[in-house]
Amino acid sequence: MIRKLGILTSGGDSPGMNAAIRAVTRCALGNGIEVVGIKDGYKGLINADFVPFNKGSVSEILSRGGTILGSARLPEFKEPAVVDKACEILRENEIDALVVIGGDGSYRGAKALTDRGINCIGLPGTIDNDITGTDETIGFDTALQTVVEAVDKLRDTSSSHHRCSVVEVMGNHCGDLAVYSGIACGAEIVVTPETGYDEEDILERLRYLDNLGKNHAIVIISEKICDVEGLARKISATTGFSGRSTVLGHIQRGGSPSPKDRVLASRMGEKAVDLLVSGVGGHCVGIMNNEIISLPINEALSMPKTSRKALYRLFDRLV
């Protein structure tokens, strides 16, 4: 039986984490379980930086981006001795179980704690949509909306100046933000880890579009693929377009969560509490075919990435 539950957010933050914190808190309190907020991820856990939560502690946070608990990275948490220490601290504070909201690194920490007898449940909180075991992560929808708004604005000004905008979006080795926004914004070219990078091919395609008489072009590129500023310079030098690069950066992580993210986070938070109450630990929660599901963290982490071939094919058919 669980008497006291801890909740923390870890790794990169994402819009909707607060909705998950609220849902976990309220569902647990409704089950007669005490709730403790843990500040700054595993770092706060090691430092016993705990805040007792009541119903009011999570009032008016649903619409706020970021995480009221703060997030941090603690690379030392990979060391068994540090996880042992975390278990000791949890036991001293009579915290029986944890909900960890974060990415796959955070999931690994949750699994390590579960292996030592503290049941943990992971919730997928990241804008990148790069976690296997779920169709969508908390924060992806909001980040996509942010990217779409930015690219729409860039298109307005690009068409006034016969410009090609090269827009770098986040993704952490996952092309979802790029290909979804490419479809939603009608981009001319999308470059992701899945498509690979062929600079000459991009330049050739832009020359072709220029010859067709297009007065603007949008190229959306996932982060860590190329130097977008350098590519923009080459576009100016070798095509009829004036190339300009924009790195959207951390703007994509902020903002009020979309209704879809708020509902997703609330559903996942409820599921986390139900799993812990029924004695399950070491699982992560996901959404598949609009059903909230859970599966062992190890299984989720070793699943192949869902294929986006159909989305890339659609993108190609629409340009």
Question: Would you name the residues annotated as active-site residues?
Answer: 128
Using left for φ > 0, alpha for ψ between -120 and 50, and beta otherwise, residue 130 falls in alpha
Footprint (CB under 6 A) of ligand ADP, residues 64-103 = 73-75, 77-78, 102-103
* 42 touches ligand ADP (CB under 6 A): yes
Q: Which stretch binds ligand ADP (CB under 6 A): 6-14, 257-265, 268-276, 278-286?
A: 6-14
Name residue 244's beta-bridge partners: 165
Residue 78 DSSP symbol: G
- What is the side-by-side order of every strand in the sheet holding 163-169? 189-191, 217-222, 163-169, 242-247
Name residue, tokens 């109450």.
277
Residue nearest to ligand ADP (CB): 105
Residues 119-178 that bind ligand ADP (CB under 6 A): 126
213 interacts with ligand ADP by CB under 6 A? no
Q: Which is nearer to ligand ADP, 19 or 112 (CB)?
A: 112
In sequence order, the 6+-apart residues with CB closer than 8 A to the CB of 200 are none
We find the least distance from the C-beta atom of residue 106 to ligand ADP, in angstroms, to be 3
- Crossing angle for the helix pair 176-185 and 309-318, to the nearest 10 degrees: 30
Alpha-carbon distances of 94 from 44, 282, 296, rounded to whole Å: 16, 19, 25
State the minimum distance, in angstroms, from the CB of residue 71 to ligand ADP. Answer: 8
Task: Measure the CA–CA gap between 42 and 48, rounded to whole angstroms.
Answer: 10
- Residues 4, 64, 85, 108: which binds ligand ADP (CB under 6 A)? 108
Rounded CA gap, 234 and 237, in Å?
5
The span from the CA of 314 to the CA of 295, in Å, is 31
| CA-angle at 125, arms to 121 and 127, nearest 5° | 160
Q: Which of 44, 66, 70, 109 binds ligand ADP (CB under 6 A)?
A: 109
Tell me how far, at minimum, the Cβ of 313 lies from ligand ADP, in Å.
29
Least distance to ligand ADP, CB of residue 214, Å = 39
Residues in binding contact with ligand ADP, number by CB under 6 A: 18
Min dist. Cβ of residue 122 to ligand ADP (A): 9
Choice from 112, 143, 169, 218 touching ligand ADP (CB under 6 A): 112
Does 14 interact with ligand ADP (rule: CB under 6 A)?
no
Could you say which of 9, 18, 25, 106 contacts ligand ADP (CB under 6 A)?
106
Please state the closest distance from residue 73 (CB atom) to ligand ADP, in A.
3
CB-based contacts of 173: which residues, under 8 Å, 6+ apart?
130, 193, 222, 224
In the complex with ligand ADP, the residue whose CB is nearer, 12 or 175, is 12
Helix (H, G, I), strand (E, B) or coil at 153: helix
Binding site for ligand ADP (CB under 6 A): 10-12, 42, 73-75, 77-78, 102-106, 108-109, 112, 126
